[in-house]
Structure 1
């Protein structure tokens, strides 16, 4: 018993000593890009998120932490702000954004990289993403000025930022449908306005100006605020989902491993527990009698029902239930309406689930054949189950 206490004492002293050493060491600065409105590190957007109330006074500022296609309750005639190093919504989400703009929303996008269906629809191309690191020295040789191109007095002036981060610009856009709002010191366009219906897309190619590192400087913060002030004073939605550094915390263990000190304390505790179980986990009590595991009557009941359907030859009944369950899965988990099953539906299902288009078409063609018959054979039921299982396997890749 004394040896057991000795081992535990040594383990506790080791863990406490390690944590004290780690605690006294200076914390390194995280220069990785985040753009999260919750992140206080240099390339987070905590300050920008908190000054939106001043930019849009007397208007609610909402924070959305879910995909674009799930935010169907978005009202018309409001602002949506997307700031990240890249912004590449898929075809389905691009159609949603274009429809919102046509209905009166003002959509602000600031990203070094803008590609995919939305960029194609807006006819935009941007230069390559710059390399992120600690900002360069603020000398005239390492900086690049940003400015606005319209004549309003409140937007006159130049604001200097590190050249390696301020050099992104639009290499191609439709000049006939685009209004140029800003450029850099080299005359390269980095801020444009594109009208769609009763709404507008404001697209900006230098997102780092909204990060904490530059927003703490009053003059540089003025530039970021004036960029956002082009949006009308209205209800505003801040996107927190499409971020490089999206902060996700769904379990206590995820929280532990996200902090270096807690992570190493957890690893040390696991190593100590493994050593204790290896050398000291000997049986020191009387033998515990084996208790039989209770039977799972639910499984037996399910097998009985299945045999009953099979014996009665009701293959069509089983097939109908499997089809009904498949459609329920598509509605609930993939958020797709199964009222109209057409080519557009099949394309969206393939994109949303990750299953091959050929697999999806084969499955629903076979379902049409099954539903058109009053009775089906056991072979047809077997092939239906095979097609459904193939779809589920590809969806879970």
Structure 2
């Protein structure tokens, strides 16, 4: 029972956690609309990017779509010598390292296009595009609620034709490009206050587009009024025959952020189900540790059975008497030892060694009467003879030994 106790406790804990998670899981009817800014391709809430991701598939019907989880330029996703591809990066924060910027530059120079839409970036990208990204009404934390304030996004003519401005009544969360270098970049769009939020750069045979209002690609913005045209006009800059469109998931992962951001453990713990899994694992580890800490029984040492010292003493004394030649004395002690054995084991207290003694001992011991008679005769001889030869002593010893072997 004690051995099974840890397993019983573990099973009860796991069952409790499962019941707890099922009880807390909201039903589809009771789920509230999330206003969290995720820009996730699977998120159908207002500030997810599900509409953008699906619209890309329809806008480039002949393109092959891929999801990138590795560093830019990884041959498993991008190919060995890619050309004419479109790499789409839509993230709240874009924090590339120097080597990742180098990979993007090499990718662009080979004749590919990169579209980056982000609210916040680091100096690595700013140095390359020669412009600073300034935030407007945006905090570098996971804030669920922003004050609703109609946001506007405008595009330039040319290259775009028709309607220039697009707006919606949701969050006004945007950034703008400050002090951009017009010698290497071209401004293609503006934000709420007329600040540049969309530029184009050319590097080698490819193109880089940097956009700082990714909320304009959220589900809410694109589905409001005719704002889907904003998406269509921007992505009309890329050839409709683009062979491959790659959606980025690499830079949205914790490792791509700089050191002052939350670490991977904090990122996992934000998710309710991951947090429940981590806490369950820690609880099981604690239970295992506590059960294994209990005092175990020490190893029981092997104790050898005690030797028969009395038998060893008898043998030693017998050898001593035999070597001294005192056969009669030794025979008397052997006969006394034999009679003591008969009294202690078979409870026969005979005064004389007669026929009744022989029959009773034979009956109780199972030894033949003839052997017992020989022993009785030899014992009588010891008591009556003045001298006892070594031959007679050896014969007595053999008969007594035969008696013990046949008991």
State TM-score, norm by structure 2: 0.55
Residue of structure 1 aligned with 2:20, choices 18, 21, 24: 18
**Equivalent residue pairs, number:** 280
After superposition, residues 1-397 of structure 1 pair within 5 angstroms as: 18-19=20-21, 21-23=23-25, 26-27=30-31, 31-68=35-72, 70-71=74-75, 73=80, 75-128=82-135, 130-131=138-139, 132-137=143-148, 142-151=149-158, 154-161=161-168, 165-217=172-224, 219-233=226-240, 234=242, 235-243=244-252, 260=272, 263-264=275-276, 267=279, 271=283
SS in 1 for 2:172: helix
2:10/2:287 contact within 8 Å kept? no
1:35/1:245 contact within 8 Å kept? no
Partners of 1:241 and 1:20 in 2: CA distance = 32
Partner residue of 1:296?
Answer: none
Partners of 1:12 and 1:100 in 2: CA distance = 49
Q: Which moved more, 1:13-22 or 1:169-178?
A: 13-22
1:89/1:116 contact within 8 Å kept? no
Partners of 1:56 and 1:259 in 2: CA distance = 34
> Cα deviations across residues 51-92 of structure 1 (Å, max 9, x unaligned)?
211111212122211012544735012211111123232333
Partners of 2:169 and 2:300 in 1: CA distance = 71
Partners of 1:288 and 1:216 in 2: CA distance = 78
Partners of 1:6 and 1:97 in 2: CA distance = 55
Partners of 2:84 and 2:208 in 1: CA distance = 13
Q: Which moved more, 1:158-167 or 1:184-193?
A: 158-167
SS in 2 for 1:170: strand
SS in 1 for 2:105: helix
Partners of 1:62 and 1:12 in 2: CA distance = 38
Structure 1 residues 231 and 218 mapped into 2: Cα distance closer, same or farther (>3 Å)?
farther
Partners of 2:253 and 2:43 in 1: CA distance = 11
Larger Rg: 2
2:173/2:213 contact within 8 Å kept? yes
Question: RMSD of the TM alignment (CA)?
Answer: 4.4
1:85/1:112 contact within 8 Å kept? yes
Structure 1 residues 246 and 60 mapped into 2: Cα distance closer, same or farther (>3 Å)?
farther
Shift in Å, 1:205: 0.9
**Gaps in structure 1 of 5+ consecutive residues:** 248-253, 290-397
1:33/1:244 contact within 8 Å kept? no
Partners of 2:83 and 2:69 in 1: CA distance = 19
Partners of 1:113 and 1:15 in 2: CA distance = 39
> Cα deviations across residues 312-351 of structure 1 (Å, max 9, x unaligned)?
xxxxxxxxxxxxxxxxxxxxxxxxxxxxxxxxxxxxxxxx
> Cα deviations across residues 225-248 of structure 1 (Å, max 9, x unaligned)?
33222222212222110115799x
Structure 1 residues 101 and 264 mapped into 2: Cα distance closer, same or farther (>3 Å)?
closer
> Cα deviations across residues 193-230 of structure 1 (Å, max 9, x unaligned)?
12223222111110122233434435333323332222
> Cα deviations across residues 103-136 of structure 1 (Å, max 9, x unaligned)?
3212111112233333213211121261353354
1:113/1:126 contact within 8 Å kept? yes
Shift in Å, 1:263: 4.8
Structure 1 residues 288 and 127 mapped into 2: Cα distance closer, same or farther (>3 Å)?
farther
Partners of 1:54 and 1:283 in 2: CA distance = 67
1:148/1:155 contact within 8 Å kept? no
Structure 1 residues 9 and 115 mapped into 2: Cα distance closer, same or farther (>3 Å)?
closer
